[in-house]
């Protein structure tokens, strides 16, 4: 039996301008919720704020494979996020791509 591709993980990090966190999170939550509910290849999309630096926000996204992530790049909800977030951030750090090997909430 051929092995299935490993889940494709995307980590995006942003430094949000002071006073802009609520607006940034509203855009981020729209993108995350829409990704999980509307994209069959999106397994998870978490938005996390650093406890020690509340202007630092991390996205942890898990897709079935690279093709599912590539499909995400053409979605209306990502377009909304891309249109709105630049005015709200000080820095967008380089996106990291990883292949997940274990384990997930369902023992993958």
pLDDT band at 104 (very low <50, low <70, confident <90, very high): low
Tens-place pLDDT, residues 25-61: 999 999 999 999 999 999 999 999 999 999 999 999 9
What does the block give as tokens for 22? 């609520």
Does the predicted model carry a pTM greater than 0.85? yes
Q: Are 14 and 24 in contact (CB under 8 A)?
A: yes
Q: Are 57 and 32 spatial neighbours (Cβ–Cβ below 8 Å)?
A: no
Per-residue model confidence (pLDDT) at position 1: 45
Angle between helices 21-38 and 76-84 (to 10 degrees): 170
- Per CATH, the number for 11-99 is 3.30.70.100
Closest CA to 17 of 105, 81, 85: 85
Parse the chain into domains and list their residue ranges.
11-99
């Amino acid at each position: 039996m051929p092995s299935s591709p490993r889940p494709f993980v995307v980590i995006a990090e942003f430094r949000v301008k002071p006073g802009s966190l609520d607006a940034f999170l509203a855009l981020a939550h729209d993108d995350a919720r829409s990704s999980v509910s509307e994209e069959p290849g999106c397994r998870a999309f978490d938005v996390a704020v650093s406890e020690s630096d509340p202007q630092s926000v991390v996205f942890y996204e898990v897709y079935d494979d690279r093709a599912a992530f590539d499909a995400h790049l053409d979605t209306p909800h990502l377009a909304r996020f891309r249109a709105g977030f630049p005015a709200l951030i000080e820095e967008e750090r380089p996106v990291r791509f990883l292949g997940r090997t274990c384990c997930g909430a369902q023992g993958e």
